[in-house]
Structure 1
């Protein structure tokens, strides 16, 4: 099973994989770790990633980029008005009012919705991962900005399905960064949390988060965001130089889309240079417009002055995150509580941004994380944690809900009925479930929406039609439907289930209430049609003991239909994507076959005048050169756009003429080595025979018949060797050799096999030594026991 994390960015994408006990970033076919978020459409195939960005200047209207900003949005969204003004391609209305693009694909005008465009990029990322891992990639975790709403998250999940991916989780970019930071920290306390602030300034968005880390746990405390990023810094420079070139060169740059793209590219380079150099830097563009070369200058102080509004928005966002953050003990966060500030994102390298962070927090921002790859690495870690095939240490993650969510039950039974019920407040823990009780016996609608002002036009999330089919047709005011609602791992709101409970006279078996394990069980709230006030949340519903006359009976006859936009087209888009993948592969095979013919023509022409010159006769040279010239004319004429089989046939006809020459060259180059190997084998056998004839001990155990057979083989192969050398030395290079290299090597292998069988025979084992004879051992004689004789005293003279 693959464990892949995708960082889907507005400008660039990164792919990380968990393997070999760590997290690695995958490089694409251009050996680059970053893949641009570009999708290009051509007359024959699509260009995805690097190739699409490289062809942008020649394919402006059909190269799509920056589509992360409008996935899941409507064309009528006010945000799209600003986007249309800076995008060179055509924005159109797709199905259900969704944002789409109109491009020229395969010589036809085609419309694609934002889900399809995103799926195309994900398809490219999937292909890059499969080429690196050499396995099929299905399961993955995809990053998503914290501020994405429900519609944007659903659209991204649909894009993953269209690309053939199983998205295990949509992970907030803020949480992914925090996970990649805290997972490898071994000095965290079990009791006192470490508070770390993260500032992620990317190409199109700023996200500021405050996170509490304890041992094997992280909890998101607060997150604030703003749609400001590196592209806004680029736009400030572009607007300045547009006015400057208008005044000095009389060029209306804004009216020329190709010139604007070049200017954006040069301003981005200038911005990066100013991040490291404080001196005045030049910008020079040759043949910019109307065959005019333009130039300009910019200094860091001047740039920061032009971008003062952007810098102020960054400062305000950081201040909001601090002000809204409450610690686990319900204290308001103070700057003394923050132990460190980590910065990530490509645009965080701007010195003015670092100065703002330093001013607010009173400490130097830390750069321990990889600014570009932190999000993808966090997603890969999360994928490994969700995968059953990887053993990862326990690490708890508590994420946040970005916007407050409320629901209403329609239709109202009474005008005085309360219309809105708060379910999930801002910064509420996710994933999380709640159960609401609705006292209805007829079908009704649960409508979810965002409570406060949100940065998009439509506050509605979705409508869920609950179809109630009561078993007992007689109405009872105490009948109720328990509706389980949930914000899942992806941050998507959904109605999980609905169960009808009727009051009856019979005493059924007691039914256990469905629990949402292992996640936190949600609070229960009663939604009574006759009530005009919202119920108090956070009070779990108490189960009453069943009585003999009035008992609660659980009826499994409630169905839920979700009214979600774009869901009905996912399978259709999936089939279209498969067809486009096949078309891309077929066209790539055709181009590869055509390029192979073109490469062979130029390669053979050069070699025929150099390395292969002596190995072809004059007639062979003339015939092959003529065919090479005719093939070259054919490639740029009638053979410009043909099927793959035509190029294969053409290449085979050229091989029939050129391959014999190449073979003669290869034979001549490799022949000395083959002859040297055979001569060495013959010499080795001759030395063995001489040693045997001299009676040396090394070969004394080999039978004479075997050595005679070896001598016979040696004479035969020596004759073949001498004859071959004589023939080849007198042979001109342009003629086919009478003896091929494979024949020489076969003769060598045959002789070596016979020689090894004879010379490698093991010596016979010496007979085992006979056991030594046992010698008779003399037993010690026993001494007679001495009698106790009394000593007589000696007489002294």
Structure 2
């Protein structure tokens, strides 16, 4: 049985959660952190994923790729690329399909990986983390992504999950996932005919600001409006602080950290920590040793100075709130509660601005860092065929209207708006077309002017074949089932031809008809399904061949990483064995080895140590195992003698203890018998 897995794919850190033990648990990683850095690094032998990537980021800055979710499904020519490229330390390049890739060095060779592969590497890492922590099978995942993700980006994330060996049961908007977490565990929500509770969720993370207005009743939620600023987040504050100190250090210490990527990254990391300190304090020091050119730097920053640095950013705080309320057709007074999530909402000036925009205090019912992952895990559990979860219905909304078009074969319209902006999904629509033969359909956004800059109008295309027109007829009715699925992806679920047939049906008897009245029949015409048609989809999803190629490449890299890790582990085991055995040979093992054995073993240890730090420093797993077994053949024999003697001592000690206990028990019983005898004698007298 697969354990449902929820992934909050964050720009800076990602949170992992699973549904188990009748609840939702956040999974800690290999260093017991509840959030894993969303980083992919590349080294001389293997990849550095997650925590390892963070540890090596400063020294491996040009081969470390972050901001993964910002480049997924993004065209190299997209207007956002110039903004995003500022936050990358690795080299971004154009791939063969005009998308964005990262050029890095892995195992001494230059490689280019596209965004799908990079995201798959990280998702594969967190999947492995969950498997090791929970000791469970992990097959299904629900991935939480920003509300502004396009159809292409959602398909790309789904493909990345498949490359990582997971089945993406749902791609969900992150704030919607947090709202599910709120709705499932809140026990005081209105029921039945009561007025829904209106809750605004404000999520400001590392790179994105989203505001969603939700209506809650017990067991259900409905998204009323969603707005966002996709270039507003914690990284903007970090960059502003870093740029401030870059200017200061240039004048004060005559160093330019902008010319040194490692120095700039160190200051950026320290600036992030400083930002967090300023959330709880009005001023904080800033000190770094040997930033570059052996220069130590020292400064400080106040909260007021930070707010002045980001003043243009703060002026945009109320815009998503205003837009979300307008889409929901509500006023701030209509909102009952304002829930804040995301680490950046801890900044005091942001909290004050959001509170003023709604005219009410803010709530922190949810864990600001973990609510999205927990909601995603619950949603994944809903899709599980083996788990029973609390019933909860939720609907999201279409940000833009979507129309379908088709070949004009007869005198009828050749397009139709099917899913209007603001309508809910998942939803299904059935349309009927009169066709003279095989045809194609396409889905596109209705109003391209309303789309974010750089977003294309086309969504998908389908080839529908197998249409047979009856002899003597000009066309045949075709029913097409159009669906916006739970992940917000537009698909054609089914297409089939229909025809009319005549059937006999019973005529309803009048109310005053006698009980023995004979039923009457009439002939009616019914439209029924005739033939199912073949639907071939052309979407943003990878074709099977490309997908399988990426899966094979990822599996090969995973196997190489595993081999490198096991080799390093064997090397460390050998090194530890050499030092441990050498130390014990002159101490506790001394009485159990002859002089010749000691001389021989010490010589073997010395040669093994010399080999380990010379030609064996970068050897293969099999050689480390062979060296270990060579030493263990004699070392373990001596150790066995020592353990046998120790066991003998334990047995003797145990026997003495048991004998002492038996003696004490015998004495106690004898004393008891004596006391009983004396009592009887006294009773006779």
What TM-score results when the alignment is normalised by the length of structure 2?
Answer: 0.88
**Structure 1 range deviating more: 583-592 or 485-494:** 583-592
Residue 497 in structure 1 maps to residue 498 in structure 2? no
1:35 aligns with 2:39: no
Answer yes or no: is the 8 Å Cα contact 1:546–1:552 preserved in 2.
no
Q: How does 1:506-655 map to 2 (within 5 A)?
A: 507=501, 554-556=529-531, 558-565=533-540, 567-568=542-543, 569-608=546-585, 611-612=588-589, 616=593, 618-655=595-632
Q: CA deviation at 1:438?
A: 2.6
Q: Given that residues 345 and 372 in structure 1 are in contact (C-alpha distance below 8 angstroms), is that contact kept between their aligned partners in structure 2?
A: yes
- 1:741-775, CA deviations, whole angstroms, 9 ceiling, x for partnerless residues? xxxxxxxxxxxxxxxxxxxxxxxxxxxxxxxxxxx
**How many correspondences in the alignment?**
647
Match of 1:200 among 198, 203, 216: 203
| Counterpart among 437, 455, 458 of residue 457 in structure 1 | 455
CA deviation profile, 1:213-253 (whole Å, cap 9, x unmatched): 11222111111111111111111112222222223233232
Match of 2:219 in 1: 216
Distance in structure 2 (CA, Å) of the matches to 1:195 and 1:418: 40
- Is the CA contact (8 Å cut-off) linking 1:441 and 1:480 kept in structure 2? no
Q: How many angstroms does 1:554 deviate by?
A: 4.2
1:277 aligns with 2:281: yes
Post-superposition offset of 1:309: 1.6
CA distance in 2, matches of 1:127, 1:274: 36
Partners in 2 of 1:124 and 1:429 — Cα distance?
Answer: 34
Report the CA distance shift for 1:396/1:612 in structure 2 as closer, same or farther (over 3 A): same
Instruction: Report which of the two structures shows the higher radius of gyration computed on alpha carbons.
Output: 1
- Give yes or no for the alignment of 1:365 onto 2:362: yes
User: Matched residues in 2 for 1:110 and 1:75: separation?
Assistant: 18
For the residue of structure 2 that corresponds to 1:313, the secondary structure is coil
Cα distance, 1:473 vs structure 2: 5.9
Q: Which runs of 5+ in 1 are unaligned?
A: 327-332, 511-544, 698-797
Q: 1:244 aligns with which of 235, 239, 248?
A: 248
Instruction: Work out the CA distance in 2 between the residues paired with 1:688 and 1:323.
Output: 86
Would you say the 8 A contact 2:436–2:469 is kept in 1?
Answer: no
Mapped contact 2:409–2:435 kept (Cα < 8 A) = no
For 1:305-363, what per-residue CA distance to the aligned partner results, in whole angstroms no more than 9, with x for missing partners?
A: 1111211222111111112213xxxxxx1222211111000111010110101211122
For 2:327 and 2:140, locate their aligned partners in 1 and report how far apart those are by CA, in whole Å. 36
Query: What is residue 766 of structure 1 aligned with on the other side?
Result: none
TM-score by length of 1: 0.76
Aligned twin of 1:67: 68
| Residue 189 of structure 1 pairs with residue 190 of structure 2 | yes
Deviation at 1:547, TM superposition (A): 7.2
SS class of match (1:369): coil
CA–CA separation in structure 2 for the residues paired with 1:412 and 1:105: 55
Correspondence for 1:98 = 99
Counterpart for residue 292 of structure 1: 295
Unpaired stretches in structure 2, ≥5 consecutive residues: 505-521, 675-685
Question: 1:729 corresponds to which residue?
Answer: none
Instruction: Describe the SS at the equivalent of 1:567.
Output: coil
**Given the superposition, is the C-alpha separation of residues 553 and 176 from structure 1 closer, same or farther in structure 2, using an over 3 Å criterion?**
closer
Distance 1:668 1:461, change over 3 A: same
Deviation readout 1:198-225 (Å, 9 max, x if unpaired): 1000111111011111122211111111
| 2-structure distance, mates of 1:617, 1:459 | 84
CA 1:283–1:424 in structure 2 vs 1: closer, same or farther (change >3 Å)?
same
Counterpart-to-counterpart distance in 1, 2:436 and 2:172: 39
Instruction: Compare 358-367 and 454-463 and name the one that shifted more.
Output: 454-463
Decide whether the 8 Å contact of 1:36 with 1:50 is kept in 2.
yes
Query: Cα offset for 1:114?
Result: 1.1
Question: Which whole-Å CA distance do the structure 1 matches of 2:617 and 2:523 have between them?
Answer: 83
